[in-house]
């Protein structure tokens, strides 16, 4: 009998297949079928974005954040990359019997701080307790609602050859920080997760010249670019020498045979912008704390084989596939 | 160190304390503070209801439903009792590694059927897998958004002495059916959970004379009436001889020393209606499949000691407290 594997939750190919063959097949409707980070709903007067995410990160506290901060930032970011101003969040917690009250309070305070920073409120919630052993400590689901900016004109169908790819900062920090926090490696570093709400950065730059945005979470930069290439039809090429990766992330990846291009991020955004506007948008991004290290890393190609290419430092080019299985379970 | 217990997730006093002392304390905002089944959000042109619930029911398949049907009905009902027409749902699944694909498909088909019956769509979703042993089979969170009917004028502050209490059908079926499905008891019955979407019934009766509605889920009828009494300030009395309870539910409760008044329901609604309109609303409810067995079970009293009284069949009266601890974990 077919079983669900960790790879089905990876953000990679297997998860995409599951979504297509099971969920879209049965729950088919025009909102869900778009498979955006948020659903976009037209009401009489305005467009609303609506999204959800469950968080099962292990460990629940890690350098740079915890499951509470992550649960707010994750949902805020899914709304923000759809061009919406995050406004209202829901929060559902599933807690294992015996969980420390003080840890629950710490997590609640992180939620509070992240809500403040993002300008959102938790307006509805739910709290469930399961018996010891039926859940690993705490899982948090958040959903979120936000109004889409009138200035936002985001659509994968607007992507054209020559468009530039921008990333808002170093990649892989979250994945590496969580991996290190598991404490199974003798590797010391002051590396912090990049976990942060992108709503401020994005609202400061949103304009018609931004054609598409996405936050490269599970599956990392490589998987997100593959999704964009698949959906737009155009090849994408990125330049290894332009992709910012911190020293400790690179070192950790080398030791473990991981690739930072597939590591999860929780406070980074990838933008596809028209060629002529790229330097203007880049300089505006760099004025924001969360965008100081923004870089143009590549562009949309004319060819339509739906491939992502990495131009390597030694002058070659290799195909970057979508993540196949699971690189790192419970990273978010 | 203070620990979270199963009773913190019971829907009873301990959960109310936790919500007040932890979540409301830190996440304080006017939407959340109202503690409604849904948050009510005023947009420029209309009022929107927004709610969330996590479902951890055990077993995941039970007579009359499964975790998928429950996850849709639970959220649809929370919107409906706030006077909203449920429209858009989110769905986040956390699945244990090794879970059967066919079971996941069955659950997805239940979600589909319940969405059809309620007239809603799942518009956004999330799927996470955790390693074997880190979660018990599957947990589902749904959140939902709906537009509040203009005809709805629901507010606990409109409750006055003399108002009638209506319940839409027999109580305790869901709690009893799930308990039996656990298979630990040698007690056979064809009892089905009452799990059903209330949106159709409620939209067929919604009018100004309905002052307040709530679905008595965790904690059952007694806990819900206590919440209403606490929030309105008025005592409530109900008449034991009028409360519909099915034979097998009563028998099961007698064997186990449980009280059907505290058993969970997933397809029942309690209404507080003005005295003069009660019989008219009752007869309209009885025209709907899910309201055929509706009964007036009691009324709002003049006294303000915030107590709920049960007039017993033998002619006495006893105080019905809020559920203190946990009667039955993982009932929804």
ipTM of the complex: 0.94
Confidence (pLDDT) at A327: 67
Closest by CA position to A54, among listed A261, A226, A259, A217: A217
Confidence (pLDDT) at A19: 86
CA A151/CA A153 separation, integer angstroms: 6
**Core vs surface per residue B231-249: b (16+ CB within 10 A) or e:** bbebbbbbbbeebbbbebb
**CATH superfamily for domain A156-319:** PurM-like C-terminal domain (3.90.650.10)
CA A253/CA A86 separation, integer angstroms: 34
CA B216/CA B214 separation, integer angstroms: 6
Mutation site, B25, B129, B131, interface A, largest A CB count within 10 A:
B129
pLDDT digits (tens, 9 = 90+) for B137-158: 999 999 999 999 999 999 999 9
Q: Residue range B308-327: average pLDDT?
A: 88
pTM score over 0.90: yes
**Shortest Cα–Cα distance, B311 to chain A (Å):** 33
With CB atoms and an 8 Å threshold, state whether A94 touches B3: no
Report residue B311's pLDDT band, with 50, 70 and 90 as the boundaries: very high
Confidence (pLDDT) at B101: 92
Q: Residue range B18-23: average pLDDT?
A: 88
> Please, which residues bridge with residue B54 across strands?
B141
Average pLDDT value over all residues in chain B: 93
Residue B44 has pLDDT above 80, yes or no: no
The domain made up of A36-148 is a member of CATH 3.40.309.10: no
Confidence (pLDDT) at A32: 85
Report residue B326's pLDDT band, with 50, 70 and 90 as the boundaries: low
Contact at 8 Å (CB) between A246 and A305? no
CA B180/CA B167 separation, integer angstroms: 24
DSSP secondary structure, B149-210, as one string? PTT----GGG--TT-EEEE-S-SSHHHHHHHHHT--S-------------HHHHHHH--TTE
Q: Is A145 helix (H, G, I), strand (E, B) or coil?
A: strand
- Residue A160, token pair as written in the block: 């054209």
- List of chain B residues whose C-beta atoms are within 8 Å of the C-beta of residue A97: 3-6
Helix axis angle, A101-118 to A67-80, nearest 10°: 30
CB contact A114 to B (< 8 Å)? no
CB contact B135 to A (< 8 Å)? yes
Across the interface, of A9, A51, A133, the residue whose CB is closest to B128 is A9
Closest by CA position to B267, among listed B159, B218, B194: B194
Annotated domain spans of chain B: 36-148, 156-319
- List of chain A residues whose C-beta atoms are within 8 Å of the C-beta of residue B126: 52-54, 141
CA B86/CA B193 separation, integer angstroms: 22
Looking at residue A157, the DSSP 8-state letter turns out to be: G
CA B32/CA B25 separation, integer angstroms: 11
Nearest residue in A to B102, CA atom: A2
Confidence (pLDDT) at B269: 98
CA B218/CA B20 separation, integer angstroms: 18
Confidence (pLDDT) at A121: 93
CB contact A109 to B (< 8 Å)? yes
The four Cα atoms A32, A135, A137, A218 give a dihedral, to 10 degrees, of -30
Contact at 8 Å (CB) between A252 and A260? no
With CB atoms and an 8 Å threshold, state whether A26 touches B124: no
pLDDT digits (tens, 9 = 90+) for B211-247: 999 999 989 999 999 999 999 999 999 999 999 999 9
**Shortest Cα–Cα distance, B327 to chain A (Å):** 13
CA B276/CA A228 separation, integer angstroms: 61
Nearest residue in A to B30, CA atom: A123
What percentage of chain B exceeds 90 in pLDDT?
80
Strands B236-239 and B295-300, sheet pairing? antiparallel
CB contact B141 to A (< 8 Å)? yes
Cis peptide before B69 (omega within 30 of 0): no
Query: Tokens 């919604």 — which residue?
Result: B206
Collect the ranges in chain A with pLDDT lower than 50: none
Query: Tokens 């070659």 — which residue?
Result: A316
Lowest-pLDDT choice from A49-63, B11-25, B295-309: B11-25
**Shortest Cα–Cα distance, B312 to chain A (Å):** 33
Q: How many CB pairs under 8 A join A and B?
A: 277
Alpha helices in A66-151 (DSSP H): 67-80, 101-118
Q: Where are the beta strands (DSSP E) in chain B?
A: 39-42, 47-55, 61-62, 65-66, 84-96, 121-130, 138-148, 164-167, 210-214, 236-239, 270-273, 295-300, 308-311, 317-319
The count of other CB atoms within 10 Å of the CB of residue B50 is: 28
Q: Is B275 helix (H, G, I), strand (E, B) or coil?
A: helix
CB contact B51 to A (< 8 Å)? yes
CA A152/CA A171 separation, integer angstroms: 25
CA A330/CA B116 separation, integer angstroms: 33
A-proximal residues of B, 262-281, CB under 8 Å: none
Report residue B187's pLDDT band, with 50, 70 and 90 as the boundaries: confident
Q: Which residue has the higher pLDDT, A19 or B159?
A: B159
Distances (CA, A) of A199 to A64, B221, B286: 18, 42, 49
CB contact A138 to B (< 8 Å)? no
Across the interface, of A6, A22, A129, the residue whose CB is closest to B108 is A22
Confidence (pLDDT) at A326: 65
pLDDT digits (tens, 9 = 90+) for B274-288: 999 999 999 999 999
Confidence (pLDDT) at B224: 95
Q: Where are the beta strands (DSSP E) in chain A?
A: 39-42, 47-55, 61-62, 65-66, 84-96, 121-130, 138-148, 164-167, 210-214, 236-239, 270-273, 295-300, 308-311, 317-319
Across the interface, of B90, B125, B130, the residue whose CB is closest to A136 is B130
Contact at 8 Å (CB) between B185 and B179? yes
Confidence (pLDDT) at B213: 97
């Amino acid at each position: 009998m077919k079983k669900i594997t960790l790879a089905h939750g990876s953000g990679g190919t297997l998860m995409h297949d599951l979504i297509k063959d099971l969920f879209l097949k049965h729950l088919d409707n025009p909102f869900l079928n778009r498979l955006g980070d948020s659903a976009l709903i037209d009401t009489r007067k305005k467009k609303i974005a609506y999204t959800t995410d469950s968080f099962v990160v292990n460990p629940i506290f890690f350098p740079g954040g915890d499951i509470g901060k992550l649960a707010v930032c994750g949902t805020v970011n899914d709304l923000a990359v759809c061009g919406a101003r995050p406004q209202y969040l829901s929060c559902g917690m599933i807690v294992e019997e015996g969980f420390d009250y003080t840890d629950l309070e710490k997590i609640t305070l992180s939620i509070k701080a992240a809500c403040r920073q993002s300008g959102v409120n938790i307006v509805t919630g739910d709290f469930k307790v399961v018996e010891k052993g039926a859940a690993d400590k705490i899982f948090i689901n958040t959903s979120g609602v936000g109004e889409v900016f009138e200035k936002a004109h985001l659509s994968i169908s607007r992507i054209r050859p020559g468009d530039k790819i921008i990333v808002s900062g170093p990649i892989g920090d979250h994945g590496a920080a969580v991996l290190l926090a598991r404490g199974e490696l003798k590797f010391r570093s002051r590396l912090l997760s990049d976990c942060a709400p992108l709503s401020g950065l994005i609202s400061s730059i949103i304009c018609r010249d931004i054609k598409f945005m996405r936050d490269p979470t599970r599956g990392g930069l490589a998987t997100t670019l593959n999704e964009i290439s698949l959906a737009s039809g155009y090849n994408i090429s990125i330049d290894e020498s332009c992709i910012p990766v911190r020293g400790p992330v690179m070192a950790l990846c080398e030791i473990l045979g991981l690739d930072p291009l597939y590591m999860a991020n929780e406070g980074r955004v990838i933008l596809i912008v028209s060629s002529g506007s790229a330097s203007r948008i880049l300089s505006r991004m760099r004025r924001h704390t969360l965008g100081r290290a923004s870089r143009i890393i590549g562009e949309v190609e004319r060819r339509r084989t739906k491939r992502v290419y990495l131009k390597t430092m030694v002058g070659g080019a290799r195909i970057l596939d979508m993540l196949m299985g699971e690189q790192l379970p419970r990273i978010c």
